[in-house]
Amino acid sequence: MDARSIREQFPILNQEVNGHPLVYLDSSATSHKPLAVLEAVDAYYRNDNSNVHRGVHTLGTRATDKYEGAREKVQQFINARSTKEVIFTRGTTTAINTVAHSYARANLEPGDEVIITPMEHHSNIIPWQQAVKATGATLKYFELHDDGTLNMEDVKKSIGPQTKIVALTHVSNVLGTINPIKEIVELAHRQNAVVLVDGAQGAPHLKVDVQEIDCDFYCFSGHKMCGPTGIGILYGKQELLEEMEPVEFGGEMIDFVHLYDSTWKELPWKFEGGTPIIAGAIGLGAAIDFLNQIGMDEIEAHDQKLTNYAMKRMREIEGLEIYGPAADKRSAVVTFNINGVHPHDTATALDSMGIAVRAGHHCAQPLMRWLNATATARASMYVYNTEDDIDQLVSGLTRTKEFFGNVF
């Protein structure tokens, strides 16, 4: 894989920011979109724009074919058994909330437990806090090792007959930790608990095979994997989705509407109330084609190589602390702090050199407390990043350290 030729497909990267060529290292927040995705969305609006699953006219048929075609691409991308298991949502957050509202509220009782991890994004914490409050169940957390990996001994001990739901991230958006999902699914299934995987950071970087992982739900977003914002996926096993009630009611999701009662469409449409995110789904389909052309194995190898390089180079900077596990246990995320410099100040200094990193709590306040940090800076990489970007970052960090060293 040649990141340089891939870069050319991302017109946004070809610009100067504050007088310097843009170095974009914030792909965990959102990735950029290649020409193929921009063109697919544009072509849909220019040529095919119409509502789906209604009407008999030609444009309507074309829009429906493209929308449902995108669903097939997603199904193959994650190796779901059928398109019935692939629900379009607004993003990972909506996907998790759908399960927490529908499945969790119908299946949890007082005494039951939901277990999550301290490394979850807020979107995989709060829906469960709300679900246990509504049902009288209990929320628990697995323990982490000091390096930010899951303590599997604690996982084994914690999952018991009272455990009904285990929800955890595939890849931590802060530490980059890749969790041993398959092993956890096996442990949970032995106790008849279902497992929801937050794949927002997993699906863009790792090959995902939901049948092999055997998880019950897998949620991810289009915009972190070269697709548009506002589109995401809820994958669920068909037998679970069949028994779940929809959470949004209205057009598109109904079968028969009577005066006082209604029936729902079959899967997956019963969860897609209202006019769906047609252009978003088509854009996501194009993003999947783009990623497949490179190959997910290639992407994983590229990420790994770049992460190794970034960690090696960043360690050369004295007074820079890196959080999380060793490079081989993490995805393309490096979270850090420069001693004595607040991460916002670091991010502003880097921005003045055209380098985009994230600073703050990364929507993971409990993890920040676990790290004993109020905030951190984070560099995250993707298909279009090169070692040159890392060199720019390292030189930017060195200058930042010097600058604040001098003004203090």
Partner 1 sequence: MSFDNLDTLYRQVIMDHYKHPRNRGKLEGDALVVDMNNPTCGDRIQLHLEVEDGKVKDAKFDGEGCSISMSSASMMTQAVKGKRVEDALRMSELFSDMMLGKEIDSGDLELGDIEALQGVAKFPARIKCATLAWKAMEQGVEKK
Catalytic residues: 363
Q: Report how far residue 215's alpha carbon sits from residue 202's, in angstroms, rounded to the nearest whole number.
A: 13
Helix and strand numbers (H, E) in the chain are 15, 17
Q: List contacts with partner 1 (CB under 8 A).
A: 18, 20, 342-345, 348-349, 352-353, 359-361, 365, 368, 374-375, 399, 403-404, 407-408
CB of 351 to partner 1, least distance (A): 8
Question: Which two structure tokens, joined as six digits, stand for 303?
Answer: 């990420």
State the sign of the Cα–Cα–Cα–Cα dihedral 322, 22, 11, 281: positive
Q: Report how far residue 353's alpha carbon sits from residue 351's, in angstroms, rounded to the nearest whole number.
A: 5
Q: Which is nearer to partner 1, 13 or 363 (CB)?
A: 363
CB of 317 to partner 1, least distance (A): 17
CB of 246 to partner 1, least distance (A): 31
CB of 124 to partner 1, least distance (A): 18
Is 266 in a helix, a strand, or coil? coil
CB of 18 to partner 1, least distance (A): 7
Spell out the alpha helix ranges (H) of 79-231.
92-99, 105-107, 126-135, 152-158, 181-190, 210-213
Q: Which residues, at least 6 apart from 270, have a Cβ–Cβ distance to it below 8 Å?
A: 246, 253, 264
Q: Which is nearer to partner 1, 20 or 182 (CB)?
A: 20
Q: Which is nearer to partner 1, 188 or 355 (CB)?
A: 355
Q: Which is nearer to partner 1, 195 or 349 (CB)?
A: 349
Q: Omega of the bond prior to 127 within 30 degrees of 0, cis?
A: no
Q: Which is nearer to partner 1, 312 or 344 (CB)?
A: 344
Is 374 in a helix, a strand, or coil? coil
* Residue 295 backbone phi and psi in degrees, to 5: 100, 125
